[in-house]
Each structure stands twice: as structure tokens, then as C-alpha cells.
Amino acid sequence: APVIGVLALQGDVREHVTALTGAGAQARPVRRPAELDAVDGLVIPGGESTTISKLVDIFEMREPIDKRIAAGMPVYGSCAGMIMLATEVLDGRPDQRGFDGIEMTVRRNAFGRQVDSFEAPVEVTGITGGPLHAVFIRAPWVERVGDTVEVLGTVTDGPAAGRIVAVRRDNLLATSFHPELTGDLRLHAYFVDLVRAAG
Ligand code: GLN
């Protein structure tokens, strides 16, 4: 089974380890460069992107992760993890910094105060069996993608209809929502397949 790390500096690490394990990966938390060396793919969990950004520097993980991304390691970022994979962040803290990831502009906490959290069905290209039940928690949305980026999913109904919430660029995958909280393993299985194919 592919070995997949979950960046374990802050956020909902355990839920991703459980989902990845259920989806057939050998999953483990990753905090140090030596631990990163030992994985075939990485998940950046939801949490708080400003905090994750700070801890990435404190744990000296920025350069190692950028290097692995440049070398083609698959990475999946959910919510705060999506923000960490974006080349441009709106409504971010001036000092927060992401990885050299997906050419896109994301807006933090985009869905607004009235709808801090909400749930919606989202059809994701490449995932069969009907829409995912997407859980959004103070989530970002994607406002712009570069030519290299494939849009995999958008919100279909309500005030946020048309907003991009799932994207892929080569081996980098990002969603605004949290599949690890739903018990539906299809998104994690999609990522495990991607890691397998890259290996
Ligand atoms: N609002 C958080 C951030 O900006 C993301 C929320 C989440 O990951 N659930 O990082």
C-alpha cells in the first residue's frame, strides 16, 4: 500500500489518517523532514492556515515540502490545506505563506459570516457514484485558476452557486470542503489512486 503522510502541525490530522487507512493507504502523521522523506504522498489537513504557515517554518518543513512538490509528490489539501497549496491568498494574514503549489487565487473564509459552516452536494469530476456530501467550515473558495489547473467541482445551488471548490493540477489536489468528516471515502480513495499512479 502507498505510504501517505498527514502534515501534523495543526488541524484535523487524525480524521485524515483514519480516512486514508480506510481507503487502503498506510497513513501516518508527518512533522519532520525525515518523516516526509519516508512517504509517497502528503495530506495537508483543515485547520487554520495562518497557524499552519507559522509552524511549517518553525518545524523547518517549508523547503522540504516545496522540493517534494517540485519532484512530483502528490499532495492533497483540504480547506486550510487548500489555502496552503494556493499561489495567491485573498483575505490572508500578510505573513502567511503557502507552498509552490497550485496556480490559483483563493479567498479565505469566503462563504461569509452568516454561513460559517454549511453542507452541500458537490459533483466531483473523476469520482463516480453521485455527488459528495461536502462539509464547509469557514472555507475558502477559488476565485481564479491558471491554465494548468483543472476545475473538478463547483457549488451548484444557493448563494454560492458556481463557486469553485475542488481543483487539481497534475499531482496536486485541493478541496474547500472536508471529506474526512463524512465517512465517505471516495475522495481519499481518489487521492490514494493518484499516489499509487505516481509511484
Ligand atoms: N478559515 C481557515 C483558514 O483560513 C480554514 C478553515 C478550515 O480549514 N476548516 O485557514
* pLDDT on residue 157: 87
* Share above pLDDT 90 across residues of the chain, in percent, rounded to a whole number: 93
Domains of the chain, earliest start first? 3-198 (3.40.50.880)
| Per-residue pLDDT tens digits for 173-192 | 999 999 999 999 999 999 99
**C-alpha cell of residue 163:** 463557486
Catalytic position from the list 15, 16, 79, 188: 79
* pLDDT on residue 113: 62
| Per-residue pLDDT tens digits for 83-138 | 999 999 999 999 999 999 999 999 999 987 656 888 999 999 999 999 999 999 99
**16 is an active site residue:** no
Q: For the residues 125-153, what does the mean pLDDT come to?
A: 97
Q: Which residues are annotated as a binding site for L-glutamine?
A: 47-49, 108, 137-138
Atom number in ligand 1 closest to CA 92:
4
Catalytic position from the list 35, 103, 119, 180: 180
pLDDT at 147 over 60: yes
pLDDT at 25 over 80: yes
83 lines ligand 1 (CB under 6 A): yes
**123 is an active site residue:** no
Atom number in ligand 1 closest to CA 81:
8
| Per-residue pLDDT tens digits for 35-63 | 999 999 999 999 999 999 999 999 999 99
**C-alpha cell of residue 19:** 480516512
* pLDDT on residue 28: 98
Distances (CA, A) of 48 to 12, 20, 35, 167, 185: 10, 21, 22, 20, 23
Work out the pLDDT band at 199, boundaries 50, 70, 90: confident
From the CA of 147, how far away is ligand 1's center (Å)? 26
**C-alpha cell of residue 57:** 517554518
* pLDDT on residue 158: 81
* pLDDT on residue 101: 97
Distances (CA, A) of 90 to 96, 103, 132, 180: 11, 14, 26, 25
Distances (CA, A) of 56 to 5, 50, 65, 102, 190: 15, 10, 9, 18, 26
**C-alpha cell of residue 199:** 509511484
- HSE on the CB side for 133, CA within 13 Å? 6
Closest residue by Cα to atom 8, ligand 1, is 46
Would you say the pTM of this structure is higher than 0.95? yes
Cβ 150 vs Cβ 169: under 8 Å: yes
- HSE on the CB side for 54, CA within 13 Å? 9
From the CA of 177, how far away is ligand 1's center (Å)? 10
Q: For the residues 132-159, what does the mean pLDDT come to?
A: 95
* pLDDT on residue 32: 98
From the CA of 37, how far away is ligand 1's center (Å)? 27
Work out the pLDDT band at 78, boundaries 50, 70, 90: very high
* pLDDT on residue 115: 66
